[in-house]
Structure 1
Amino acid sequence: MPLPSAMPARMRAVRLVRPGHPVELQEVAVPSVGPHDVLVRVRAAGICHSDVHYRAGRSRVEPLPLTLGHEVAGDIVAVGSAVHDRAVGDRVCLHYLVICGQCPHCVAGREQFCPTGLMLGHFTDGGWAEYIAVPARNAVRLPATVPYDHGAVMMCSSSTSLHALRKARCTPGDTVLVVGAGGLGMSAIQIAHQLGASRVIAADRDPDKLALAQRLGAVPLDVRGLGPAAGAEAVRALTEGRGVDVAVELVGHGDTVLLALKSVAPLGRAVVVGHNDVPVPIDSYRDLIGREAELIGSNDHLLGELEELTAMAARGALVLDDVVTNRVALDADAINAVLDALEQHRAPVRTVIVPDAAG
């Protein structure tokens, strides 16, 4: 459908043009709106560590050039002719998986396996732009009490953490180890408490992040200089020698995967979220069989989990004030600087792009 007469025809967008090269600011057409779509004016878009992999060419992005950004929140400014459950003016955050909605996986609620699914900012244009068009079902209502930048970050770091804890079957009374106290870890700490965890331990090497984790209710564990075995012994020292029921690995390194697995108690579940393409040596008896432990992969999240998260945030159970610590304009130089810092592991916990901000 044509855009409303007051809408501009062109917009600014920060795009990946060539892998291994800085992202670039370009002027492109405002996306068209199909009958089942909504057009969203972007108010906030997160910068994720995945974007570092996309820019570096370690994870395939196509078609190029492509607008990055899969953590998005904003206002609906136009709706398609067949859309009746969303309206102009709605505050929304966006589910980043664009799916068919009809295949067996989608019907069963396993939309991350949709054979035609496309991820915003990975295989279809994302939210590092002034506007983005998505199917209406991808627009999750954002409560008025939740800031746009928090809504954006929830679309990846918080939702990924919730899905991982669900995969781990985290239940009331469980002890939980969160390996990696970054953006995902800070959400995982709070969500684990909401799911009834009796104790949450946060393992990291950054004293500032560990201090924040402690303020959020976790027991901090500094693992600087500790290998997986020594780190697991430190976890056991905090759990009366037993280990944890659930360990969530959020870093993407062989040693952190081993730390998570070696830290679980008998019948414990270690869930791997962080991307890692290096083989991980596992002692099948000591690490798995002898304790009947489980090593579980967790990929993306589900649309229904996003609504659960926004409800948590609305009632003050998920607070991201100290997580979203940096904001930048829709400016290629500023965004490349954040990506550089993420690649060097010296970035703030979470940075959000605010397109309306002055450059």
Structure 2
Amino acid sequence: MKALRLVAPHRPVELHDVPTPAPGPDDVLIRVHAAGICHSDAHYRNGIANFDGLLPLTLGHEVAGTVAALGANVRALASGQRVCVHYLATCGTCAWCAGGHEQFCGTGQMIGRHRDGGMAEFIVMPAASVFPLPDAISFAHGAVMMCSSATALHALRKARLAPGETVAVFGVGGLGASAVQLARALGAGRVFAVDINADKLALAARFGATPVDARASDPVAEIRRATGGRGADVALELIGLPPTMQQSVRVLNKRGRAALAGLTRQPLAVDPYHEVINQEAEIIGVSDHLATEIPELLRFAADGRLQLDPIVTRTVPLDAAAINAVLDDLDRFGSAARTVVQVA
């Protein structure tokens, strides 16, 4: 089968012929129809991850397709069924998995990071990580939901967003465009969207957010002005830059919660007393998302509260040159559009 492979950091990804994987007794072989291209894939190509002993590796952790074959023990799915994939393959039995925090499973593997991913014609996953995809949701939308939308929902749940609260979303890329909509679906009173890209701000406004152009003014001051000095009850940082992480903390109202999902290796500096202790503010890490959150996410998409048509606007074939060009655009923090690899 054809697979898009990361051969070495700091090198273009390559299309290779590799053996088609065979499912184990508890696994599902999926014929991939769509695989989203995430900013994390650009990070991986740039070496922002430790791949010792894992390369070459098939990229892609946003996957939707149809069931091609079932392991002997799999009963909940059927051949030919439309499915989407929770990107973590875990043991399902350890204390973390049993407690509903499978992202900390000691043997857990993220597809496209620790094991071969979905930018390929086929992928094998444990049946526990495979979910039926409603007919109302396209393969392309089902794919990108499995990272950007799922992580946005997990961030809002981690931040304990309550109805009526004010939300500030820093970064209106793939995660941010979903976060704006999901915050409203969960009952947020007002949502601010912070970015420097006019197209992304316009998209956020289309989804009902108040756009804040960080080029034109200090977003913290602007949000405080617009809220009568209170600031935001919940802030999501979805970019992975220390300055925007600082802003997500500084914009908080008393007892506010800043959920950090953006990836960076750079340190974050905060004023412990004024920005955290005296405010009783919280800085919350957001790692991946949970399988238990996917059914709720699919309901939001199926009933129209999460709209992906304005976000997923490009498709490319399973072609190295086309995918490298998309990764280059992500390196430049380009448009708000999400690109999907159309495999079959």
What TM-score, normalized to structure 1?
0.94
Partners of 1:167 and 1:38 in 2: CA distance: 30
SS of the residue corresponding to residue 112 of structure 2 reads: coil
Residue 43 of structure 1 aligns with which residue?
33
Deviation for aligned residue 1:348: 4.6
Partners of 2:283 and 2:216 in 1: CA distance: 25
- Alignment deviations for residues 72-93 of structure 1 (CA, whole Å, 9 cap, x no partner): 0000011111111111011110
SS of the residue corresponding to residue 245 of structure 2 reads: helix
SS of the residue corresponding to residue 41 of structure 1 reads: strand
Residues 147-166 of structure 1 mapped to structure 2, 5 A cutoff: 147-166=138-157
Residues 339-358 of structure 1 mapped to structure 2, 5 A cutoff: 339-356=327-344
Q: Is 1:337–2:328 an aligned residue pair? A: no
Is residue 35–residue 82 contact of structure 1 (8 Å, CA) maintained in 2?
Answer: yes
Partners of 1:93 and 1:262 in 2: CA distance: 37
Residue 199 of structure 1 aligns with which residue?
190
Q: 1:169 aligns with which of 160, 167, 185?
A: 160
- Alignment deviations for residues 288-340 of structure 1 (CA, whole Å, 9 cap, x no partner): 11211111111100001111101111111111001112110000000001001
Is residue 325–residue 348 contact of structure 1 (8 Å, CA) maintained in 2?
Answer: no
Partners of 2:140 and 2:50 in 1: CA distance: 27
Q: Is 1:139–2:130 an aligned residue pair? A: yes
Deviation for aligned residue 1:266: 0.6
Q: 1:286 aligns with which of 274, 284, 287?
A: 274
Q: 1:265 aligns with which of 253, 257, 266?
A: 253
Partners of 2:145 and 2:77 in 1: CA distance: 20
Q: Is 1:17–2:7 an aligned residue pair? A: yes
Q: Is 1:316–2:304 an aligned residue pair? A: yes
Counterpart amino acid of 2:231? G
Q: Is 1:102–2:93 an aligned residue pair? A: yes
Counterpart amino acid of 1:26? H
Is residue 69–residue 128 contact of structure 1 (8 Å, CA) maintained in 2?
Answer: yes
Partners of 2:16 and 2:265 in 1: CA distance: 33
Q: Greater CA deviation, 54-63 or 105-114?
A: 54-63
Counterpart amino acid of 2:328? D
What TM-score, normalized to structure 2?
0.98
Q: Is 1:304–2:292 an aligned residue pair? A: yes
Residues 54-65 of structure 1 mapped to structure 2, 5 A cutoff: 54-61=44-51, 62-65=53-56
Q: 1:118 aligns with which of 98, 101, 109?
A: 109
Q: Is 1:66–2:54 an aligned residue pair? A: no
Deviation for aligned residue 1:23: 0.5
- Alignment deviations for residues 19-47 of structure 1 (CA, whole Å, 9 cap, x no partner): 11111001111101111111111010010
Counterpart amino acid of 1:31? P
Partners of 2:332 and 2:301 in 1: CA distance: 31
- Alignment deviations for residues 202-237 of structure 1 (CA, whole Å, 9 cap, x no partner): 0000011100100001000001165xxx32111101
Partners of 2:204 and 2:216 in 1: CA distance: 20
Partners of 1:224 and 1:286 in 2: CA distance: 26
Identify unmatched segments of 5+ residues in structure 2. Answer: none
Is residue 89–residue 108 contact of structure 2 (8 Å, CA) maintained in 1?
Answer: yes
SS of the residue corresponding to residue 18 of structure 2 reads: strand
Number of residues paired by the alignment?
343
- Alignment deviations for residues 240-292 of structure 1 (CA, whole Å, 9 cap, x no partner): 11101100000100110011100010111111110121122211111111211
Identify unmatched segments of 5+ residues in structure 1. Answer: 1-10
Deviation for aligned residue 1:347: 4.3
Partners of 2:115 and 2:268 in 1: CA distance: 32
Partners of 1:347 and 1:66 in 2: CA distance: 27
Q: 1:187 aligns with which of 168, 171, 178?
A: 178
SS of the residue corresponding to residue 29 of structure 1 reads: coil
Q: 1:245 aligns with which of 218, 224, 233?
A: 233
Partners of 2:46 and 2:265 in 1: CA distance: 15
